[in-house]
Structures are given as C-alpha cells and as structure tokens.
C-alpha cells in the first residue's frame, strides 16, 4: 500500500541546463482524481477521491521541507456523496472545496422526493477548512434555486479573502441544455458567508450538462473560464462548442471566444483547463479525441494539438520561472475501462515548447482517473498520478 511519503518513479529529461525537471509521483494513500495547490507558504494541499469508495473525498497536506503527507481527513463528514469537485487555496492557506453531489445525497436530505436523477439535483456543496487546518467545517449548499447538476463547477480564491464559485444549471427539472446558464456565488470574507447565486452575463448560449467549468484568476479582477456551450442547430442536432470566457469585473460579466466548434456532439463529459502566468493566460480543451492548447487572445492558432488514442483531461500549471506544464491523459484501447498513459510538455512563458517532454505509462486509473500538477518553489514540476505507473 502506498503511504504518505511519495517516491518519485522517474524524472523527465532536463536537456537544457536552465530547464526544470518534471517528476511523476503517485497520489498519496492510493488516492483518486486529485486536485493539488502549493500555497505561498510552501504548504502542499491535496484533495482527492478514495479509491474503492465511490463518493468519498479526503484532504491531505505536506509541510514545507517534508516528504510526508498528513493523515487523510474527510472533507464532507459523510461518505459516498461526492460525484465531482474542485478546490482552491485562498488567504492564510485556507482550503475551499466545491462539490457536485450524487443522487444519494439528495435522497439522504429529502427521502420523500421519489426517484432523483441529474435533472433534479439541487445541491452544489461547499466546504472550507477550519482555522487550524485539521478539519473541515460543515458543508453548505450554494445552489440557491438552481438545479440540474451533472458537470463539475469551479472554485477560485485570492489572497484578499474573496472566493468565487461558478457552475452551470437551470431552474426546471428537464433536459434543456440550451436554457442552461452559468451562475456565480461570491464570498468576500474567506468563505464564511456567500451571497445568493446570480446568473452571469455572457454572449454564449446554453451549456453542455455533462461537461464541467474550469477557471483561473488573472491580474486585478480578471477571471477566465473554459466552458462548453450547447445549442440546437437548424437540422435539430446538437452543437457543443468549446469557449473561453473572460471577465474584467471579477466574474459578473463575460465575453466568449470560440475555441472550436463541435457539431453533432453527443455526451463528451469533458473538462478544460486554464492557467494564468506573467505573459498572460493559456487555455486547454478537448474536442472528440483531441486535446488543444492555445494562448488566450490567439486562440485561432493553437500552440499544440494532440491526438493519440483518446486524449483527454488537460491540466495546466505555471512555475515561479514563468514556464508552464501541460499534462494530458491518453486513454487506452478496448477493455482498458478508461485507464491509459500520461503525457506532458513544458512551455516557456510565451508558449514555446522547451526540450522537456515525457510519458508515464499506465499513469491514469480506470474509471475517469485524472492527474494533478503543481510547481515546487524552485520551479520544478510535479505530476500526481492515480494509475499504476511504470
């Protein structure tokens, strides 16, 4: 069994003398689909699923200078209720988690509601770590009157105590993706309280119900979201286009830029990635079996497009040197049940690839496993993987 200390499997090749390394390590305690953030104090925060216990979510941390992780603590205090999540770290190292729940949670809360499906789900839960960082406060529902959650939302936090949660939903329990909208809930006191959710103003129509929202904070009040729309075309078939949404007023209004159209789309269930660096923001997205990377403001000219098998789960992270790591999963063939390899490439701050690229075979677990990545204070990159690895 893997314990708290993670042993590096290998280091990708640092050919340039000035290049940082990329190290792949297994998720601590045999975790699943992690999220990881290294805060300004050098503390590594990880929220992850529990392999073999669907719907459980735990938190671990690694102190500066240590190779050991703390023992896992529950994020929700209840088992089997989380279907998807995102996490952020804000002021004073406080951890914020946004969770889409399973129908089981709705049945626990309202046992007389009868049959409950995705169109009926009305819980977008939020939890934050306590002042000591050794437990989580009781979960709260941020959804208000919005319902119909299948895709994962995103949560963002800055160093001034502001916390932003975004998700897409609707008001009527039926399949109506064209009417779905993105909603925003804001806290200005570090997550202690949130205002009622409000629909953001954007020029993009609809939302793919099974797809998520990914986001990042930029300079000042800039917010960037990766998002998939949904609308019916003239022939009655559904179009699900990938967009990047940008806001200059901390998420109240957004303008959308089309990344890539996708006509005759089915149920992609995909999530993009956004990261902001010293020279601007970059976005990664997936259309069919291809993962793309582009600089925001020049999205008509992708920097990288990768199709090898079934590419998915893009991840982006910047380091202190201005470089960024682009990681994606490549699902295996028939019978793999979603397991596959991880691949990555390092880019400089202008989006030029450097000679640092690698592959980890069997780095992604079956059942929609996904990687996380962070950068150490010295600029070295670390990938957390949930597969067997080899």
Helix (H, G, I), strand (E, B) or coil at 297: coil
Confidence (pTM):
0.92
Task: Identify any residues that bridge with 73 across adjacent strands, giving them in sequence order.
Answer: 59
Place 306 in a pLDDT band, splitting at 50, 70 and 90. confident
Place 338 in a pLDDT band, splitting at 50, 70 and 90. low
pLDDT score for 1: 35
Q: Are 26 and 384 in contact (CB under 8 A)?
A: yes
pLDDT score for 299: 73
Tokens representing 29?
Answer: 């305690």
Place 15 in a pLDDT band, splitting at 50, 70 and 90. very low
pLDDT score for 17: 39
Task: Identify any residues that bridge with 244 across adjacent strands, giving them in sequence order.
Answer: 226, 257
In 3D space, the residue among 350, 353, 344 whose CA is nearest the CA of residue 381 turns out to be 344
pLDDT score for 246: 95
Place 106 in a pLDDT band, splitting at 50, 70 and 90. confident
pLDDT score for 336: 65
pLDDT score for 308: 67
| Domain definitions of the chain by residue range | 1-33+282-390, 81-271
**Contacts of 194 by beta carbon, 8 Å cutoff, 6+ apart:** 126, 140, 142, 163, 165, 185, 186, 187
Of the listed ranges 13-22, 167-176, 206-215, 237-246, the one predicted with least confidence: 13-22
Q: Does the structural domain 81-271 have CATH classification 2.120.10.10?
A: yes
């Amino acid at each position: 069994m893997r314990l708290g200390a993670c042993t590096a499997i290998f280091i990708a090749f640092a050919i340039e003398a000035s290049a940082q390394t990329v190290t792949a390590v297994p998720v601590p305690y045999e975790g699943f689909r992690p999220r990881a953030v290294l805060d300004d104090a050098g503390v590594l925060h990880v929220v992850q699923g529990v392999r073999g216990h669907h719907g459980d979510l735990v938190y671990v941390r690694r102190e500066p200078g240590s190779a050991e992780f703390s023992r896992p603590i529950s994020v929700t205090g209840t088992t089997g209720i989380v279907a998807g999540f995102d996490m952020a770290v804000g002021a004073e190292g406080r951890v914020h988690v946004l969770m889409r729940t399973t129908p089981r949670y709705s049945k626990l809360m309202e046992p007389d509601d009868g049959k409950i499906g995705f169109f009926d789900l009305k819980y977008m839960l939020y939890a934050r770590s306590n002042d000591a960082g050794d437990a989580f406060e009781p979960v709260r529902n941020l959804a208000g009157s919005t319902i119909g959650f299948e895709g994962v939302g995103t949560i963002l936090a800055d160093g001034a105590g502001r916390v932003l949660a975004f998700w897409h939903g609707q008001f009527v329990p039926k399949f109506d993706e064209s009417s779905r909208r993105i909603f925003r809930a804001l806290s200005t006191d570090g997550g202690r309280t949130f205002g009622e959710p409000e629909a953001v103003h954007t020029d993009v129509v609809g939302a793919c119900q099974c797809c998520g929202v990914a986001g990042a904070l930029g300079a000042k009040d800039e917010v960037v979201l990766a998002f998939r729309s949904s609308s019916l075309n003239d022939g009655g078939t559904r179009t699900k286009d990938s967009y990047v949404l940008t806001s200059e007023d901390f998420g109240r209004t957004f303008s959308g830029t089309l990344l890539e159209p996708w006509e005759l789309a089915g149920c992609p269930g995909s999530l993009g990635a956004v990261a902001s660096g010293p020279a601007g923001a970059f976005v990664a997205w997936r259309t069919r079996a291809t993962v793309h990377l582009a600089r925001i403001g020049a999205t008509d000219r992708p920097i990288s497009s990768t199709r090898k098998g079934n590419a998915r789960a893009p991840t982006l992270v910047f380091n202190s040197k201005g470089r960024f790591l682009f990681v994606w999963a490549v699902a295996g063939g028939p019978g793999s049940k979603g397991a596959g390899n991880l691949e990555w490439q390092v880019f400089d701050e202008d989006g030029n690839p450097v000679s640092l690229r690698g592959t980890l075979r069997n780095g992604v677990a079956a059942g929609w496993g996904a990687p996380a990545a962070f950068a150490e204070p010295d600029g070295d990159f670390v990938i957390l993987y949930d597969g067997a690895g080899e």
